[in-house]
Chains A and B, each alone.
Chain A
Amino acid sequence: MLKMKQLGKVFHTGEVSTHALREVDLHVKEGDFVSVTGPSGSGKTTFLNIAGLLEVASSGEFLLDGDNVNLLSDSQRSKMRNQKIGFIFQGFNLIPELNLFDNVDVPLRYRGFDAKERKRRIEQQLELVGLASRMKHLPSQLSGGQQQRVAIARALATSPRFLLADEPTGNLDSQMAQSVMALLEDINRQGTTIIMVTHDHGLAQRAKRQIFIKDGRVSELTAVEGLHSAGLERVTPLHTHGSADAARQLGV
C-alpha cells in the first residue's frame, strides 16, 4: 500500500546540505497503525510530509497504491492527497473564521462532492466525534480536545485510506490525549491505515507497529516479552545502514 525504497530527503540552505532522511525502506500495509517516534529534528515530520505528498523526496522511490508519486504533477499529487490521505496536526489547524461545518467542508469541496453529499458526510463525521450539535460554532468556541476532534472529522470526511497524524495529542492534556487516541484506535479498527508521529512513548506503544527515526534513519521497534515490561524494545533494522546506531541509542 505504501512503499518507500531507499528514500532520501536533502534540504539545501545556501552551501549547507542537511540530510533529513537517509535510505528509508518501509512498507506500510492496509490497516496498519504505525507510530513514529524519535528525538526532535530527527526527520519525523519530514517523513510524514513525504508520506502525505506535501514534500517530494530527493532520492529513492515512493509508491502509494502502486503509483510512483515522485513522477506525479502538482495537481495529481493534490488530487491523490485529497482522495487518499487525511491529515491531523498538533495545532489542529482549523480555519478560525469558518464554523465547524465549513471547516469539515473544506476537503469535500476540493473533492467535488455535491451539496447534499457534502452535508451528509459533514454531519456524519461531526456525529462520530460527538460535535454534531455544535456545527455552527467557531473553533475558538471549543476546547483543544474538541478542536482536535473536529480536525479528525475533517480528515475523515473524504473517507481517506491513510490518516497521517503529526503529534495529534501534543497540545492536549492527558485525559483529552487518551480520548483522542481511543478515537484513532477506533478509526483504525474500522480499516483506516494510520501513521502517527508522537513524542508520547505510551501512546506510541499502543500502535500496531512502531517506527523510530534518528538522524534521518528509520528503524522498526518490535516489542519483546520481558524487555517490553522494562520499557525496552528490540530494534529491527529497516535499512542496511544505521541500525546499529539506532540500537545503540536504545541501549539494546
Chain B
Amino acid sequence: MLAYYLRLALISIRQSPGLSLLMVLAIGLGIGAAMTTVTVNYLMSANPIPHKSEQLFYVQLDSWDPHQAANENGDPPDQLTYRDATALLAAKKAYRQVIQAQIGTVVEPEGKDSLPFQVSGRANSADFFAIFDVPFLYGGAWSETADSEQQHVVVLSQSLNERLFGGKDSVGQKVKMAGDYYQVVGVMANWQPRPRFYDVTTGAFNEVEELFVPFSLLAEPKLSRNGNTNCWKPSGEGYPAFLNSECVWTQMWVELRNDSEKQQYLDFLNAYVEEQKKLGRFARPLNNRLSDVMQWMENQQVVAEDASLMMVMSLMFLLVCLLNTIGLLLAKFLSKAPQIGLRQALGASRQHLFAQYLTEAGCIGLAGGLLGLLLAWLGLQGVTLLYGDSMKGLAELDWVMVLLAMGLALLSSLLAGLYPTWRACTVQPSQQLKSQ
C-alpha cells in the first residue's frame, strides 16, 4: 500500500502546487536554519579522538595566587608553569606525557627568489606524536634524546613540506628558521582534529601548526612563543627568571590507560605539590586536576554559549515553521473531507486514511528536508564568510548531518501532519457524501 499512498501523495501535491510549495518552503526554512546551527554545535562538540579520549588527560595544578583563585569557578589555572611542566615530564610517571607551547617563527627558504615567511609552530616533547596519534607521510617523530639534547630537528606539516620541498620526501633536509638550521625528521600527513583539542587555549578551531620542534629548545629565547602567558606575580628580570617564574604558559597531557594509572598519577601530582609546598610554593589548597578530552572541552567551553543560544533560537524557528505547516496541512486535508468520506464509504479504515495522509505529509517533509539541506549548506557558507577561517571545517555537512536533516524533516512533517490528519479522519463520512 505504501507505493499506492506515495502515488496518491504525488497526485495530491501536484494538484495544489502553490499550497504544497508553501509547506515545503516552511519546512525547508525551518530545517535549514536548524541544521546550520545544529551542524556548527555538533562539530564543535564532536569528540576529536574518540578511540582514546578517555585515556588522555589534561593536567592542571593550582599554583596560583594564595589570595585569589585563577578564575571565578575556583578551578586551577588552565596552563602550567615551565618549571612544573618540565619537572613532571622528567618524572615520567605516566604511560606517555607531553608538554607543549605554541611558537611563531620565520622560515627562510633556500634560493635567491624565495622570501622568508612567518609560520605558526609548536614546541613539544617527543611523545606529542604518539599520544595524539599524529599520522606521518614521511619519517616520524624525534627521539627523547633529541628532546634532552636540544637537537635542532623539525617535523613539517604536509602543506609546509609542499611549499618548501614540493611535496617530496624531505626527511634529512635542512630548514632554516630564525637563523638556525633544523633537520627534517618527519612530515605529517594531513591532520586536523576538530576541535583542535590538544591546545584549546590558543583557539579550539584554529588550524594545526605548520611545524613542530622539541620543547627543550624553549630553554633558549631564540624561538618566540605565541601562546597565552598568565602571571599572578612579577616574573623577574631576564629569560631564566621568566622560566623559573610562577607564570603559566605550558600545557601538559598524559596518557593513562586505566583508572588505576589515573589514580596513581593523581597521587603523584598531589605528592609533587605537597613537596613544592614545603619549598614555599603552592600556597592554595590542594586542587590538582586530571580532565579527559571531553571534560576538558567542556571545561574550556569549546561550544561557545552564543552558538548554543543560536541553536535554541533556530529550533524555535523550526517550531514556528512547523506550526505554519500544521495550519497549511489542516487547510489542505480538510478540503479533502469529501474524498475522505468517500474512501471511508468504499472501505477505508481510519488506519488506511492516516497512512495515506501521513505519507503525503512525509513527502512534503522530505522535499522540505532537501530544500533545508540546500539552505543549511548556504547558511554554513555564510557562517564561514562571517567568521573566517576559524570556522572552516566546522561549516561542513557530513553524512550524519544529512541523515539528521532528512530524519528531522520527516519527523517534523509527520508530527505536523498528525493533527490535520486526525481532524480530517474524524469528519462524518455521511455528511461529506451528502454534501458532494
Contact = CB atoms under 8 A, between A and B. Distances in A.
A52 interface: yes
A125 interface: no
B345 A45 contact: no
Contact of B347 (A49, A74, A78, A95): A78
Contacts of A154: 346
Interface string A172-210: 000000000000000000000000000000000000000
Residue of B338, B345, B348, B433 with highest tally of chain A CB at under 10 A:
B345
Interface in B323-368: 338-339, 342-352
Contacts of A97: 11-12, 15
Given A75-B350, A78-B348, A109-B1, A54 B429 contact: yes
B344 A54 contact: yes
Contacts of B434: 45, 166
Contacts of B339: 95
Interface in B182-218: none
Contacts of A98: 11
B244 interface: no
B428 interface: yes
B436 interface: yes
Interface string A57-88: 00000000000000000110011011100010
Chain A interface mostly: helix
A82 B430 contact: no
A78 B346 CA distance: 8
A30 to B, nearest CB: 21
A75 B15 contact: no
A72 to B, nearest CB: 12
B347 A158 contact: yes
Interface string B400-436: 0000000000000000000000000000111001101
B349 A87 contact: no
Nearest to A154: B346
B346 A82 contact: yes
A78 B436 CA distance: 21
A120 B266 CA distance: 81
Contacts of A74: 349-350
B14 to A, nearest CB: 8
A89 B349 contact: no
Contacts of B117: none
Contact of B346 (A91, A110, A166): A110
B399 interface: no
Interface in A232-251: none
A74 B426 CA distance: 11
Contact of B349 (A79, A107, A158): A79
A89 B345 CA distance: 11
Contacts of A52: 345
Contacts of A95: 339, 342
Nearest to A160: B347
Interface in B225-246: none
29 contacts: A45-B434, A54-B430, A55-B428, A74-B350, A75-B349, A75-B351, A78-B349, A78-B350, A78-B352, A79-B347, A79-B349, A81-B347, A82-B346, A87-B345, A91-B436, A93-B338, A93-B342, A93-B345, A93-B436, A95-B339, A97-B12, A107-B347, A109-B4, A110-B352, A111-B347, A154-B346, A158-B347, A166-B433, A166-B434
Given A87-B345, A91-B436, A97-B15, 7 more contacts: A54-B428, A55-B430, A79-B347, A93-B342, A97-B11, A107-B346, A109-B4
